[in-house]
Amino acid sequence: MLYYLFEFLEKEYQLPGASLFQFMTFRAAMAILTSLLIATAYGKRVILFLQKQQIGESIRDLGLEGQQQKAGTPTMGGLIIIMSTLIPVLLFAKLENIYILLLIVTTLWMGFIGFADDYIKVFKKDKQGLKGRFKVLGQVVLGLGVGATLYFHPRVTMKEENSSQITQQFQVRDVEGSEIKSTSTTVPFFKNNELDYSDFISWAGEGAKDYAWLVFIPIVILIVTAVSNGANLTDGIDGLAAGTSAIIAFTLGVFAWVSGNIIFSDYLDIMFIPNSGELVVFITAFVGALVGFLWYNTFPAQVFMGDTGSLTIGGIIAVIAIIVRKELLIPLLCGIFFAESLSVMIQVSYFKYTRKKFGEGRRIFLMSPIHHHYQKKGYHESKIVTRFWIIGILLAILTIVTLKIR
């Protein structure tokens, strides 16, 4: 909103300083500052409100040290993350940008699903929350909407060629190549590192590529569902999900920056995605909200994000990765989410297998997700969280390095 206001003031009244809002870097800086201020200044008020409404977490006894002391801690703290993300975005982003609109819808939709889950747990006293099939249905609907928008919307394009003529002052004079619709994505570690999803259907004959959405949209649905569930599983101890997600989001911000800039994308020989640079404003607001939330969520947590936060975080991360065509990097960048999900799948599968074969279920981990395994081994949760953050930073660096290692 402020972008349009100051654009008007500059055109009509030549207001000094109004042109600053034309620069994405300035608006991104303002977005992260605003989100941090909202999360820290108003987060406490949200927590007090949740306490007043007796929206506390009922803790199931898992035999973990210090677990019962957390009973009654307010949940639904994801509202702080959502509020601290959306307000700066509405203030500083270009709201006609299709990618910004897509992320706003993602935030609200996944926030609603997570809120419904938390509401049932807290007010209906049902520890299972929203039925799993309804969660998955919500994720599938979001994936379907995101996939269809990215495939069919006329403003979702790429540059056919990244070549450009640039002055010594690094200003683009002319950009060759036309904007095209494409289902290409980035394959890490390969020199010719583009994969077109339409190739999977090209065997059907001439004209089959017109139906590439039959491949692209299910892949988007799978990614959205997997990442949002991964973030949900990671939210098990104080500060783990928020800190890990902040690292992931910051890395995606780097990719959005270079993918939306003709100079950087040409130098790095990556896909130039017009208008994707505006994602940086959303991402900085998102990172600021996550870091601000950590003010109250680090051990000992004053508030839990609940599914309101974790499902929203996962959905946002998945959609950003798909927009910048880096979804194949998710197993590396979101390695913590991946390990948490994998540990649950391994544990459940092995338990069922051994129960069928030996008559009793056996376990590989002391408890899953894997962060609980380390808790069972006697590690303090602050140490677990810090070490997972360090691993997340290493994975983020490796992910960025893929820009040049091929």
Cα separations in angstroms, 4 against 8, 73, 182: 6, 41, 31
What is the rounded CA–CA span in Å between residue 21 and residue 291?
A: 24
* The predicted structure's pLDDT at residue 303: 92
pLDDT of residue 260: 93
pLDDT number for residue 201: 87
pLDDT of residue 178: 72
Place of tokens 């997972």: 388
Cα 6 to Cα 18, 26, 247, 399, distances in angstroms: 5, 13, 32, 37
SS3 172: strand
- For position 122, what pLDDT does the model report? 84
Quick check: helix, strand or coil at residue 194?
strand
DSSP secondary structure letter of residue 60: P
pLDDT of residue 179: 79
Count of beta carbons in the 10 Å neighbourhood of residue 359: 7
pLDDT of residue 127: 78
* Token duo for residue 326: 């880096």
Rounded-to-integer distance, Cα 39 and Cα 81, Å: 7
pLDDT at 97: 95
User: Tens-digit pLDDT profile for the chain (406 aa)?
Assistant: 787 877 777 777 777 777 888 889 999 999 999 999 999 999 999 999 888 876 655 555 455 665 666 777 888 999 999 999 999 999 999 999 999 999 999 999 999 999 999 999 888 877 788 898 999 999 999 999 999 999 999 999 887 554 444 433 334 434 445 778 888 998 888 877 788 998 888 877 777 788 899 999 999 999 999 999 999 999 989 999 999 999 999 999 999 999 999 999 888 888 899 999 999 999 999 999 999 999 999 998 999 999 999 999 999 999 999 999 999 999 999 999 999 999 999 999 999 999 999 888 999 999 999 999 999 999 999 999 999 999 999 999 999 999 888 7
Residue 363 burial (C-beta neighbours within 10 Å; 0-12, 13-18, 19+): middle
Judge whether 303 and 74 are in contact, CB under 8 Å: yes
Which residue is it, tokens 């500083």?
A: 92
Which DSSP category does 140 fall into?
A: H
Domain residue ranges in the chain: 2-401
